[in-house]
Chains A and B, each alone.
Chain A
Amino acid sequence: MLGTAILLILLMSVAAYIVGRISGRKFVRAGGGKVHSLPNYHGLFVAVWVGIPATILVFLWVALRGPAIDALLVASLPDTLTAGVTESQIGLLLQQIKSAAAGVMFGQPGQEILNAAARLSRWNSIAEWGMVAAALAATIVGLALARARLAPQFRARNAFEKVMSGVMIACSAAAIFTTIGIVVSLLVEALHFFSMVPIGDFLFGGEWQPQIAIREDQIAGAGAFGAIPVFTGTLLIAVMAMLFAVPVGLFTAIYLVEYSSNRVRSIVKPILEILAGVPTVVYGFFAVITVAPAIRSFGNQLGIATSPNSALAAGVVIGVMLIPFISSLSDDALRAVPRALRDGSLAMGATRAETMTKVLLPAALPGIMGGVLLAASRAIGETMIVVMAAGLIATLTINPLESVTTVTVQIVTLLIGDTAFDSPKTLAAFALGLILFLITLSLNVIALKIVNRFREKYD
């Protein structure tokens, strides 16, 4: 039905364009040189007024149809079903009605449920056809209104360009809407969570056992939502990653800037880009199949107890992922230092190493620091590698050979399978997501500020 509606709108827009263009042509033929806009713009003006309002209407219809029908359905249920039940039971009831409407019956549903299912099917088909009818009506109204405004002196081009400007502004505001959407959805669900679990217990509690029962017949633990071990686990893995990535990335950049010939550079740079382009799920598999067993057997040979999914393995592989990121940002920062500084130092007789450590690095330090902070934010937010290679159980430890869990791993494990938006298990994921978002956001803001200030200094 959505396809039909969109096709209809498209056809109507094309028709509108032709109608407008014909009118524009008529003006030209009748009025000679006194017409303001080209016929083309008359056509485009009518077409956008037919197409855009109808499209917006259809998208609103699709977006709000589900919630609206749900609300109507709940309101139409007899009191015997809805009296004194919680929100989750209503959700279950709705689910039951929907599956009954789809022809899937579990056990013997009551007569009320069957009636409601019939109502639901009826309303759904009304909503479907209503959408097409509404789209058609909107295009006809748009066509009539826009067509009526056409005249030889009408500034069709300016009017059309104004609409296009509006569309472009709306598109560039999409970034803002996304940010607002992220903040609001995380905040709402997290606040919901904090109304069940006190925020102090969440932020400073030392025990994390979130696998509680969502339905009554599930067997699970009692639950504890103290996120400290999750945070320390994240930090441990991120520190391992940075300990590996920063030296390797930085020395790579130093070599490429100061020592390498152009030929070496033209070979190494694309290879680093390949490293940057490998999907994270591939790195995750690499960590599981190669790095973790290698670290484990090495540890066992030394006689140290090593977990099969140690923090070190996940950390090192995240570090590998970050090498190209750090090296290219450091490379840029080192190259941004004015050539005069470097040449001056070399002319004084300093070796390349001295020029690097005493002149270039100090001058480029803010840029490199910014890059390192951005990399740290990536290490904290990295998901696939840790989902595949890190543990699930939150242990409070700083031993990199033990298994720890991270914020992102917990978000994924909490949200896979049963999700109910009134259970602390599901909502805890959003609270973790909020913390993750805030931490990475502040790291990014600080990093971008440092980088920008550094850039201004030399520009």
Chain B
Amino acid sequence: MAIDTEHSVNWGSDKSRRSQRRRYASDRRLKFLGLGAIIIAIGVLAILLTTIVIGGSTAFTQTSVTVSFYLDQDLVSARRGYTRIVDNAVTELFPEIADAATLNAAEDILTDAADDILRDRVRADPGLIGQTVTMRIPVADPFDQLHKGVVSRDIPEDRRIVSDQQVQLFDQLIERGLVSKPFNWGLLFNIDSTNPEIAGLRGAIVGSFYLLLVTFLVSFPVGIAAAIYLEEFAPKNRWTGVIEVNINNLAAVPSIVFGLLGLAVLLNFFGMPRSAPLVGGLVLSLMTLPTMIIVTRVALKAVPPSIREGAYGIGASKHQVVMHHVLPLALPGILTGTIIGLAQALGETAPLLLIGMNAFVPGDPGGITDPATTLPTQILIWADSSERGFVARTSAGIMVLLGFLITMNAGAIYLRRRLERTW
């Protein structure tokens, strides 16, 4: 056998080595490009999370001043009486101040809503009237920012909201040990307010709960029924083909279009109440329906045919096979998918804007037809507010929202690990 010297390759030649080096270099290039892409993706996520956590962590404490209020019997029932009680308390706090202007400046250190806080306290416990109560009252937002170091004391007086005189008074309070920074439970348990120092997420959390309740009550049964029909009963014909295409397309329709549907049909035509969790829940259940149907079908598919055949074998009807055997076995998978679908619905914002769920609601909704906000729309409201304190609160609100999402997803993963069975 003669060797074809003309066409054989000399792997040791310079040319061959160069070519090999070039090819390996391009291989490494692609690898580094891939690695770079992953680093960019992870880096952006890391930057996002650190900005949110650093920005939001200050909102989890609230600068407060310990103040003693004398609840005068006459003042409690008088008009604007609580305002005067607060005024008196501030006067006592700074006994050396004589002129009214300085006193007014001192009063601005406490939150505007100090009288409301006091009134709520007395309403909860009328026995306090006539006594002196000592309470921690949140300071107004500019002082909160000052105390947390978000706003520097070095900024010239004409460029900050608080005057030098007020800073001096505030420093006096710090020296006397009256200023503290307790954990800000109000962030979770207060209702929304235009004053950042007392604004909280309670209304939004309750609103989101009602919203998810409606979404669950509508999309869970409808989604399961539709999935069972399509997976177990539907004949392969044009009609079911149309339904399948429809479900796939609905899953990809921009969420804002669902908002338009809700506005035109539910609000304008059926005259349902604006800003209500009922309407928001209905819109979101239409959006989660495709997800529900898809996850349920996957779970039904995973049940092995032997189960069905065994049930048929002992004389069960088709409905009995599905309802008594297949569905119970698929339920863990369906529940996992449902939680993930609801977590998606919890983060959804755009359609809720069009049905008015981003309106300021000072209170928490009592039912599914009351005006309400939700966690994401509350975050949007705070993000659009101009007060300095809302910047940190927006990040803190995002942390709360992400906390709920992580809990729901972790619950789904736990459920999957716990209940999933392999056949």
- List the interface of chain A (C-beta within 8 A of B): 62-63, 66-67, 70, 157, 161, 164-165, 167-169, 171-176, 178-179, 181-182, 185-186, 188-189, 247-252, 254-256, 258-260, 268, 271-272, 274-275, 277-286, 288-290, 320, 323-324, 327, 351-354, 356-357, 374, 377-378, 380-384, 387-388, 408, 411-412, 415-416, 419, 421, 429-430, 433, 436-437, 440-441, 444-445, 448
Given contacts A185-B265, A388-B380, is CB(A251)–CB(B33) below 8 Å?
yes
Residues of the A chain whose Cβ atoms lie less than 8 Å from the Cβ of B257: 182, 186, 381, 433, 436-437, 440
Bound Cα distance from A289 to B48, whole angstroms? 10
Q: Beyond the given A172-B293, A258-B34, A320-B41, please list 12 additional residue pairs across the A-B interface where CB-CB is below 8 A.
A: A168-B233, A182-B257, A251-B37, A252-B34, A274-B45, A281-B379, A285-B395, A286-B51, A352-B31, A354-B27, A408-B254, A412-B353
Tell me whether A288 and B383 are in contact in the complex, defined as CB-CB below 8 angstroms, given that A67-B269, A384-B349 are known contacts.
yes
Q: Which residue of A lies closest to B272 (CB)?
A: A66
> Can you list 9 contacts pairing A with B, beta carbon distance less than 8 Å?
A178-B250, A179-B250, A278-B347, A278-B402, A281-B379, A354-B26, A416-B358, A433-B257, A433-B260
Chain A CB within 10 Å — which of B222, B264, B317 has the most?
B264
Cβ-defined contact, A175 with B226, below 8 A: yes
| B85 within 8 A of partner (CB) | no
Residue of A165, A279, A444 near B405 (CB, 8 A) is A279
Known: A281-B347, A416-B353. A174 touches B380 (CB 8 A): no
The answer to whether A441 and B317 touch (CB under 8 A), given A171-B222, A275-B41, is no
A189–B24 alpha-carbon span in the complex (Å): 61
Verify A66–B254 contact, CB threshold 8 A: no
B398 at the interface (CB under 8 A from A): yes
Complex Cα distance, B354 from A4, in Å, reads 30
Report yes or no: A351 in contact with B317, Cβ–Cβ below 8 A. no
- Choose among B51, B233, B261, B270 the residue with the greatest number of A CB atoms under 10 Å from its CB: B261
In the complex, which residues 255-295 of chain B have their Cβ closer than 8 Å to any Cβ of chain A?
255-258, 260-261, 263-265, 268-271, 286, 289-290, 293
Indicate if B102 sits at the interface (CB-CB under 8 A): no
Interface centre among B260, B269, B383 (most CB of A within 10 A): B260
**Complex: how many Å from CA A182 to CA B256?**
11
| Nearest CB of B to A267, in Å | 9
Q: Is the CB of A282 within 8 A of B222?
A: no
Give 7 nearest A-B pairs by CB, closest first.
Answer: A255-B34, A381-B254, A279-B347, A66-B271, A251-B37, A383-B350, A172-B226
- The reply on B234 being an interface residue by CB < 8 A is yes
How far apart sit A250 and B248, CA to CA, in the bound complex (Å)?
24
Q: Which residues of A contact B290 (CB under 8 A)?
A: 175
Instruction: List residues of B (367-423) whose CB comes within 8 Å of A's CBs.
Output: 376-377, 379-380, 383, 391, 394-395, 398, 401-402, 405, 409
Q: Nearest-CB distance from B383 to chain A (Å)?
A: 5
Q: Which residue of A lies closest to B344 (CB)?
A: A277
Number of B interface residues in the complex (CB < 8 A):
85
Inter-subunit contact B51/A289 (CB<8 Å): yes
Asked whether, in the complex, the Cβ of B268 is within 8 Å of the Cβ of A320, the reply is no
Name the A residues within 8 Å of B307 (CB-CB): none
Within 8 Å CB of A448, what residues of B? 248-249
Bound-complex Cα distance A189 to B263 (A):
11
Q: Which of A168, A176, A378 has the most CB of B within 10 A?
A: A168
CB distance from B4 to the nearest CB of A (A): 19
Question: Could you tell me if B347 and A182 are in contact, using CB atoms closer than 8 angstroms?
Answer: no
Determine the chain B residues whose CB is within 8 A of the CB of A408 once the complex forms.
254, 256, 350
| Cα(A252)–Cα(B286), bound, Å | 33
Q: B44 to A320, Cβ gap below 8 A?
A: yes
Pairwise interchain contact A419-B263, C-beta atoms closer than 8 A: yes
Q: For chain B residues 225-259, which have a beta carbon within 8 Å of chain A?
A: 225-226, 228-230, 233-234, 242-243, 246-250, 252-258
Nearest CB in chain A to that of B234: its residue: A172
| Contact between chains at B31 and A259 (CB < 8 Å) | yes
Question: With a CB–CB cut-off of 8 A, which chain A residues contact B286?
Answer: 174, 178
Task: Check A351/B45 contact, CB under 8 A, given A175-B289, A282-B402, A437-B253.
Answer: no
**Residue in A closest to B409 when the chains form the complex, CB atoms:** A277
Please tell me if B87 contacts chain A, counting CB pairs below 8 Å. Answer: no
Q: In the complex the two chains form, is B253's CB within 8 Å of A171's CB?
A: no
Q: Are B343 and A176 in contact (CB under 8 A)?
A: no
Is B253 a contact partner of A268 (Cβ separation < 8 A)? no
Checking B26, B34, B258, B391 against A254 with a beta-carbon cut-off of 8 angstroms, the contacting residue is B34
Determine the distance from Cα of A168 to Cα of B226 in the docked complex, in whole angstroms: 6
- Contact digits for B7-36, partner A, Cβ 8 Å, 1 yes 0 no: 000000000000000011011011101111
* CB neighbours of A251 from chain B (8 A): 33-34, 36-38
* Residue numbers in A under 8 Å from B347 (CB-CB): 277-282
On whether the beta carbons of A169 and B229 are closer than 8 Å, the reply is yes
> Taking CB as reference atom, which chain B residue is nearest A354?
B23
Candidates A175, A281, A290; contact of B51 at CB < 8 Å: A290
B70 to chain A, nearest CB (A): 39
* Distance in Å: Cβ of A254 to nearest Cβ of chain B: 5
A168-B228, A175-B289 given; A433·B271 CB < 8 A: no
- Complex Cα–Cα for A185 and B265 (A): 7
What's the Cα separation between A375 and B81 when bound, in Å?
A: 60
Q: How far is the CB of A24 from chain B (nearest CB, A)?
A: 16
B55 at interface (Cβ–Cβ under 8 A)? yes
A66 and B270 contacting across the interface, CB-CB below 8 Å = yes
Contact with A along B53-85 (1 / 0, CB 8 A): 001000000000000000000000000000000
| Residue contact A279 to B34, C-beta cutoff 8 Å | no
Supposing A168-B226, A176-B243, A353-B30 touch, asked if A248 and B256 sit within 8 A by C-beta, the answer is: no
Chain B nearest Cβ from A331, distance in angstroms: 12
User: Do the beta carbons of A185 and B250 come within 8 Å of each other?
Assistant: no
List chain B residues, Cβ under 8 A from A419. 263
Given A175-B290, A279-B376, decide whether A444 and B40 contact each other with a Cβ distance below 8 A: no
Which of B48, B253, B346 contacts A182, CB < 8 Å? B253
Indicate whether B124 reaches chain A with its CB closer than 8 angstroms.
no
B174 in the interface (beta carbon within 8 A): no
B52 at the interface (CB under 8 A from A): yes
Q: How far is the CB of B379 from chain A (nearest CB, A)?
A: 5
Interface membership of B319, Cβ < 8 A: yes
Closest residue of chain A to B343 (Cβ to Cβ) is A277
In the bound complex, CA of A236 to CA of B66 (Å): 55
Does the CB pair B252–A444 fall under 8 Å? yes
CA separation between A381 and B37, bound complex, in Å? 25
Are A353 and B27 in touch, CB under 8 angstroms? Answer: yes
B42 an interface residue at 8 Å Cβ cutoff?
A: yes
Nearest to B347 among chain A residues (CB) is A279
The answer to whether A289 and B254 touch (CB under 8 A), given A173-B243, A185-B261, is no
Give the residues in chain A near B41, CB-CB below 8 Å.
Answer: 248, 252, 271-272, 275, 320, 323-324, 327
Please report the C-alpha to C-alpha distance between residue A227 and residue B116 in the assembled complex, in whole angstroms. 49
Bound CA–CA A341/B324 (angstroms): 45
Residues of A within 8 A of B112 (CB): none
